[in-house]
């Protein structure tokens, strides 16, 4: 299911005859896997989905309302049923009486295991209150590329209103946790007609009492943002327009094959690395664009992205109009050294007394004009996922 649908709009893949035969919890899994199958809807591991379902209590035999919500870890696109935590809604509601205010919100995490339904071993995530307190049966939370572009803009509140009117609200940045759950509940109660909310610098929440409508609302909201961006940018070339020619596919692979072992040798002193090469159209458009060096140096806008990609990539000095791979290889060690020095300075500048030790200071993402993107990590899957995150960032 790890595919990127071509075309600019996200396709509605809901199959009514399939979905209608499913239990409510299986339907939630179906919806989650559909949403996560397109990386433009949410990045790998990002976002979570939930449903409030009536279940039979194993102790009393009574019907009780249970929150099914993606548990800690996992990815909505590839998860299975075991990836959901299950919690009694009445116990989650009772937690409100224990809440001592935002300064103490982190202590609420320890109460969540006490709300577990049916001895489910999947740990509840810190996002659980964000789903529990929205007074709707179904809630989707995702990090769509088009919504992050709005949410991370300095005027994100104005943009949200301009694009969505009253149908989708806006909340300022708040660390995911208990307080944000109460904010979402408060927003829903005060705006009963709203279908969702953009969270500043974070992503999107949509809700409904019907599972299919919730899914359709999430896709519709993302597609509305995509359409708005297309309208705004129709006359503007992306990333400042094309500067470098794109080499033919076989030539791109030849250059990548020359660079990858050389880079790998320079960055593997402390741990071995595996590389992944990506030359999809989105990547080629970006690495060949006039503004690429400036935009790459700005860094990614979303913390979820730069945890995987580091704050910025290394732009390899290579001119596809006059390819000289020997010259590029000869200059590579200095580029890799300069990146390490820059990253170390960034760490020193931003560290706090309680910060963890500096991580591997080597670049994860290497952009090569006319050729594509190379990512390195401890194994192939992690290298590929880091590349997917940089595509989200692009």
Binding residues for Zn ion, per CB under 5 A? 203
Name which of 148 and 256 has its Cβ closer to Zn ion.
Answer: 148
CB of 330 to Zn ion, least distance (A): 44
Compute the chain's Rg from CA coordinates.
23
- Residue closer to Zn ion by CB (options 18, 175) is 175
Containing 132, the helix (H) or strand (E) segment is helix 128-132
Q: Which is nearer to Zn ion, 83 or 203 (CB)?
A: 203
Q: How far is the CB of 211 from Zn ion (least distance, A)?
A: 20
Residue nearest to Zn ion (CB): 203
Contacts of 26 (CB under 8 A, 6+ apart): 81
Kindly state the smallest distance separating residue 143's Cβ from Zn ion, in Å.
6
Determine the Cα angle at 108 with ends 104 and 109, to 5°.
Answer: 125
- Per the structure block, which two tokens stand in for 278? 């990506």
At CA 300, angle to CA 298 and CA 303, rounded to 5?
A: 135
What are the CA-CA distances from residue 65 to residues 55, 214, 374, 378 (Å)? 6, 19, 48, 43
The encoded tokens of residue 101 equal 């205010």
Query: Which residue number, 174 or 273, has a Cβ lying nearer to Zn ion?
Result: 174
Closest CB 130 distance from Zn ion, rounded Å? 8
CB 380 within 8 A of CB 274: yes
The smaller minimum CB distance to Zn ion, of residues 127 and 208, is found at 127
We find the least distance from the C-beta atom of residue 254 to Zn ion, in angstroms, to be 40
Name the nearest CA neighbour of 295 among 236, 376, 238, 230: 238
CA-based torsion, 255, 258, 261, 267: positive or negative:
negative
- Minimum Å gap between C-beta 196 and Zn ion is 13
- CB nearer to Zn ion: give 129 or 203: 203
């Amino acid at each position: 299911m790890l595919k990127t649908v071509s075309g600019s709009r996200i396709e509605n893949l809901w199959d009514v005859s399939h979905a209608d035969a499913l239990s409510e919890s299986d339907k939630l899994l179906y919806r989650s896997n559909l949403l996560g199958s397109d990386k433009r809807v949410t990045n790998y591991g990002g976002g979570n989905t939930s449903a409030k379902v009536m279940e039979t209590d194993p102790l009393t035999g009574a019907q009780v309302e249970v929150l099914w919500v993606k548990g800690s870890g996992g990815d909505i696109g590839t998860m299975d049923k075991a990836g959901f935590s299950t919690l009694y809604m009445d116990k989650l509601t009772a937690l409100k009486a224990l809440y001592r205010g935002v300064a103490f919100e982190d202590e609420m995490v320890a109460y969540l295991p006490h709300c577990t339904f049916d001895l489910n071993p999947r740990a509840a995530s810190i996002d659980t209150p964000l789903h529990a307190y929205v007074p709707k049966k179904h809630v989707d939370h995702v990090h769509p590329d088009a919504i992050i572009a709005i949410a991370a803009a300095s005027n994100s509140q104005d943009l949200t209103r301009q694009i969505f009117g009253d149908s989708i609200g806006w909340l300022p940045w708040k660390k995911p946790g208990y307080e944000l759950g109460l904010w979402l509940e408060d927003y829903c109660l005060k705006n009963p007609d709203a279908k969702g909310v953009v969270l500043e610098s974070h992503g999107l929440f949509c809700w409904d009492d019907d599972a299919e409508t919730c899914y359709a609302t999430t896709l519709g909201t993302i597609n509305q943002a995509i359409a708005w961006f297309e309208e705004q940018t129709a006359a503007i070339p992306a990333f400042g327009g094309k500067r470098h020619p794109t080499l033919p596919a076989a030539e791109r692979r030849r250059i990548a094959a020359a660079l990858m072992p050389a880079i790998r040798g320079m960055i593997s002193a402390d741990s071995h690395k595996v590389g992944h090469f990506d030359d999809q159209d989105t990547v080629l458009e970006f690495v060949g664009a006039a503004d690429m060096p400036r935009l790459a140096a700005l860094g990614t806008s979303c913390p979820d992205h730069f945890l995987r990609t580091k704050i910025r990539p290394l732009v390899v000095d290579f001119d596809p109009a006059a390819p000289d791979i020997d010259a590029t290889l000869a200059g590579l060690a200095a580029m890799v050294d300069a990146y390490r020095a820059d990253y170390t300075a960034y760490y020193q500048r931003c560290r706090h007394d309680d910060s963890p030790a500096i991580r591997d200071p080597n670049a994860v993402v290497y952009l090569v004009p006319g050729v594509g993107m190379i990512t390195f990590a401890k194994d192939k899957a992690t290298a590929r996922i880091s590349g997917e995150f940089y595509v989200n960032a692009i």
